[in-house]
Amino acid sequence: MVRIKQMKKQILSLFLCISAIAFAQQKPMVKAEIDTTNIRIGEQFEYKITVQDTANVIIPKLENLIGVEIVEDKKIDTIKNQLIKRYILTSFDSGAYYIPQQQIFIKQRLHLTDSLLIKVATVAVDTTKQKMFPIKAIQSEPYVFDDYKKYVWYGVIALLIIGLILYFAFKKKKEEMEEVVIPSLPPFEEAIQKFHELDEKLLWQNNQVKEYYSELTGIIRGFIERELKVPALESTTDELIETLTDFNDSESISTTKETIKKLRDLLREADFVKFAKSNPLSQQIEFNRKEAEEIVTELTPVKEEVPEIKTEHDELE
C-alpha cells in the first residue's frame, strides 16, 4: 500500500515537471529583436516586433526612443498566424542606446517586449594614410541639351497660351457674327411646349418620379413668373399661393379660387414627392399632369381695357 502511494507521488511529480517544462517552452506572445547590435554612425538596422496572434492586436507607435531615430515605419505583415511589425532605425550619435520596452495589447491585455541594446560607433578616419590632392580650379562644363530644356518648355507653353487666346478670340467673334436672336414664345405657348417635351421624356414611367414632379412644377412656376411678373421660382408653396390669392382678391388676375386650390394641391403633392419621398400611383401622376395644363390655361392676368378714342368723324356720324 505504501508502495502504491509512493508510485502515485512519483507520477504526480513527473506530470508537474512535464507541465512546467512545456509551459516554459511556450513561445512568448510578443517578441522584439534587431538584426544587429553594433552599427556605425548613420548606418541603418531593422527592429522587428513579432506577435503570436492576429485577432484584436494593437501595436502602438514606436516611442520613447533616445539616441535612435525612425527612418521607415513599415506596414504590418501577417505570416502564419503572426503579426510582424518592422521599423528601419538609425543613429547619428555614438554611444550605447536602449530601445525601451514597447506596450502591445492583445485582446485588451497588456504585453511588454524586451528592451534591446544597440551600440553606435564612430567612423574612424586615418588622415596619415589618406592621400591628399591639390585643389583644382572650377572648370565649366560643356553645354548639353538639358541645359536648354527648360527654355524649350517655356517656349512651348508660351505658344500654347497664345494659340488658346487666339482660338477663343476668333471663336467668340465667329459666334457673335453667327448669333441669331430667336424670339421667345409667349408664356402660355412656351409652357404647353414644355409640357409636351416633359411627356416625351417618360420620367415617371422609368421610376424618376421626383425628377418628373420637379420639372412639372418648374414649368408652372416659370409660366407664373413670366405671365404674372412674380418671383414664383424662388417662392415657397405657401408664399406663392398667398400671392396669387391676393392677386385674385384684387382682381389683378382672371382665375377662380378653385384654380388656385388646384395649384396649391399640386404643389404640395410635388413637395411630398420631393421631400417626403411619397410615391404616387400612375393614375394620380396622370391626373396631376392634366391639372397642370388646366391651371396654366385658367391662370391669366386681367388685360386692361384701352378706352376707345372717338374722332370728329365718329361724332358727326
Tens of pLDDT, residue by residue over 184-214, are 789 889 999 999 999 999 999 999 999 999 9
What pLDDT sits at residue 310? 53
- Cα distance between residue 47 and residue 36, in whole Å: 9
Tens of pLDDT, residue by residue over 75-115, are 888 888 888 889 999 998 888 998 898 888 888 888 888 88
Question: What residues does each domain of the chain span?
Answer: 26-121, 187-301
- Cα distance between residue 228 and residue 253, in whole Å: 8
What pLDDT sits at residue 22? 43
Closest CA to 279 of 221, 204, 215, 217: 204
The b-or-e profile of 16-50 (16+ CB within 10 A means b, else e) is eeeeeeeeeeeeebbbbebeeeebeeeeebebebb
pTM summary value: 0.41
What pLDDT sits at residue 53? 84
- 21 — phi, psi (to 5°)? -65, -45
Give first-to-last CA distance, the chain, whole Å. 158
Pick out the chain residues at pLDDT < 50. Answer: 20-25, 180-181, 306-307
26-121 under CATH 3.40.50.2000, yes or no: no
Long-range contacts of 180-188 (CB under 8 A, 24+ apart): 187/223, 187/226, 187/227, 188/223, 188/227, 188/296, 188/297, 188/300
Q: Are 262 and 294 in contact (CB under 8 A)?
A: yes
What pLDDT sits at residue 133? 62
Chain centroid offset of residue 211 CA: 25
What pLDDT sits at residue 214? 92
Contacts of 227 (CB under 8 A, 6+ apart): 187, 188, 299, 300, 301
Place of cell 411678373: 229
Closest CA to 30 of 107, 86, 83, 80: 83
